Amino acid sequence: MTETEITRAGFAAIIGAPNAGKSTLTNRLVGAKVAIVTHKVQTTRFPVRGVAQVGDAQIVLVDTPGIFVAKRRLDRAMVKAAWSGAADADAIVHLIDSSAWVADKAGNATGAQKMSIADDLRVIEQLKLTEKRAFLALNKIDLFPHDQVLPVMGELNDTGVYDEIFMISAENGDGVGRLSAALADRMPAGTALYPPDQTADLPMRLLAAEVTREKLLLRMHQELPYQLMVETESWEERKDGSVRVQQVIIVGRDGHKAMVLGKNGASIKEIGRMARKELIEMLDRPVHLFLFVKVDEKWQERRDSYSGIGLEFDV
């Protein structure tokens, strides 16, 4: 389809508690990987845009960081960015991990699920306060029989902040078509905001750093992943068609550096191998990836750590 056939275009923000599946949904709607996904909370750190075309509508999806009670500076900056992602959107999708609610109704919710529900309720309060209407998407319906979600649906419908409710599985795509059609309907009349063949608008250096951070999150345990960041230091296109990428993994402590490196460097080698494999797929050409680890105790208190990924420092 060409640009001229787009008659409606706008922004749809996906907001919700950490781990609800916002990035999974964004990638599914876009049909390409624009945002990293892990089983850990607080994977997404800054709003990421992905472009989807549904009929004659262009939907610019804004995947946002999870919304939770944030104490540390980085967390506060992430939550602020999530809400600002929703502020100017033409449509808001509040995505909920409905398996947590179903478990809670059955009286066997885990601590993490209870936390996720508390975060959902706070999002609803904020929607009420700002008088914003949203679509509710009950995600992860592949995890339980569908009739179990009906009481949850009723309770959430009663909050009065939702225009429509959708049952979806971002993971396997169930129900996502209906949601995307409804989003397309909400897009205001206008010409395309992005060229028709563009799916992401993250600079390649930043996306590549995210890929490495995803592999770190998947491999590292406990608190460590939340305390590191990845920067692409250099990006060199070579004459032979390959690209040389150099990245630095910044950690807060010597002990963390040792963990990232692993015994005889085994850990960082594996992370580099996985990241490189994905970069080759994304870029469709040979990639030489060089990873270094640096200790910077103060990185979370440095202004440029935030500006580099578009977050506000003074929050």
Residues in region 143-172 near ligand GTP by CB under 6 A? 143, 169-171
Is 19 labelled as part of a ligand binding site? yes
231 in Cβ contact with 36 (< 8 Å): no
Q: Tell whether residue 18 is a contact of ligand GTP (CB under 6 A).
A: yes
E strands, 161-219, are 162-167
Q: Tell whether residue 140 is a contact of ligand GTP (CB under 6 A).
A: yes
| Of residues 60 and 287, the one with the C-beta less far from ligand GTP | 60
Residues in region 64-93 near ligand GTP by CB under 6 A? 65-66
Q: How far is the C-alpha of 122 from the C-alpha of 273, rounded, in Å?
A: 40
Cβ partners under 8 Å of residue 311, min gap 6: 45, 46, 74, 77, 78, 80, 81
Q: Tell whether residue 243 is a contact of ligand GTP (CB under 6 A).
A: no
**CA of 233: how far to CAs of 2, 14, 204, 242, 292, in Å?**
36, 30, 12, 17, 10
Is 20 labelled as part of a ligand binding site? yes
In the complex, minimum distance from the CB of residue 94 to ligand GTP, in angstroms, rounded to a whole number: 11
Q: Which amino acid is at 182?
A: A
Q: Tell whether residue 27 is a contact of Mg ion (CB under 5 A).
A: no
Is 111 labelled as part of a ligand binding site? no
Q: How far is the C-alpha of 221 from the C-alpha of 267, rounded, in Å?
A: 12
Q: Tell whether residue 10 is a contact of ligand GTP (CB under 6 A).
A: no
| Of residues 140 and 186, the one with the C-beta less far from ligand GTP | 140
Is 75 labelled as part of a ligand binding site? no
Is 284 labelled as part of a ligand binding site? no
Cβ partners under 8 Å of residue 68, min gap 6: 17, 18, 41, 42, 75, 79, 115, 119, 122
231 in Cβ contact with 250 (< 8 Å): yes
In the complex, minimum distance from the CB of residue 26 to ligand GTP, in angstroms, rounded to a whole number: 8
Which partner in ligand GTP, Mg ion, none is near 19 (CB below 5 to 8 A by kind)?
A: ligand GTP
Q: How far is CA 135 from the centre of its chain?
A: 18
In the complex, minimum distance from the CB of residue 98 to ligand GTP, in angstroms, rounded to a whole number: 9
Is 225 labelled as part of a ligand binding site? no
Pick out the residues of the known binding site. Answer: 16-23, 63-67, 139-142
State the residues that interact with ligand GTP by CB under 6 A. Answer: 16, 18-24, 37-39, 41-44, 65-66, 139-140, 142-143, 169-171
